Amino acid sequence: MNNLLETNKAIWDRLKTPPENVLKTIKGGRLAGMSDINPQWRYEAMTDVFGACGVGWKYFIDKMWTEPAIDGQVFVFAKVTVGYRIDGEWSEPIEGIGGSMLIKKEQAGLHCNDEGYKMAVTDALGTAMKMIGVAADIYAGKWDGTKYNDDTDAIP
């Protein structure tokens, strides 16, 4: 953790590139072809840079709520704040909002997702963490896990 703030982008640069083995290609839906990032890697990357969760970085679930969707479906959303510590001082809170489906319409009818709240929190954590650079190369469309993309202006 030496010289963590050596430059304005020091933290960003340490967190921006996930290893290939933590990515998988999304196969269906409107995000088909994009990369899904293993959330456990995000937590490991934060721990590598800042220290253990609760000591070097932390998060709080600020709010969880549901919203109705069409055809009896229900969204679940979470708002979290993430903080990290450098030289004994905590950062300002970094907010993230994420969501998932709690009740989803499938071919056989409506399906309840007992992991919906957890998935919303995981999504919110990823949203907050990307603000300090976690997996930034993926979000910027610069890297697909196997090669760098020359189109540095591409943002998914």
Per-residue pLDDT reduced to its tens digit, 139-153: 777 655 544 454 444
**What is the greatest pairwise CA distance in the chain?**
56
Question: What is the pLDDT at residue 148?
Answer: 47
Distance CA 32, CA 42 (A): 21
pLDDT tens, 82-139?
Answer: 999 999 999 999 999 999 999 999 999 999 999 999 999 999 999 999 999 999 888 7
pLDDT tens, 27-59?
Answer: 767 666 666 788 899 999 999 999 999 999 999
Contact, 119 vs 80, CB < 8 A?
Answer: no
Question: What is the pLDDT at residue 144?
Answer: 53
- For 81, the token pair is 């704040």
- For 128, the token pair is 């907050």
Q: In the beta sheet, which residues pair with residue 101?
A: 75
Question: What is the pLDDT at residue 20?
Answer: 84
Predicted TM-score of the model (pTM): 0.83
Grade residue 5 by pLDDT with cuts at 50, 70 and 90: low
Question: What is the pLDDT at residue 33?
Answer: 65
Q: Which of 3-7, 66-70, 72-76 has the lowest mean pLDDT?
A: 3-7
In sequence order, the 6+-apart residues with CB closer than 8 A to the CB of 21 are: none
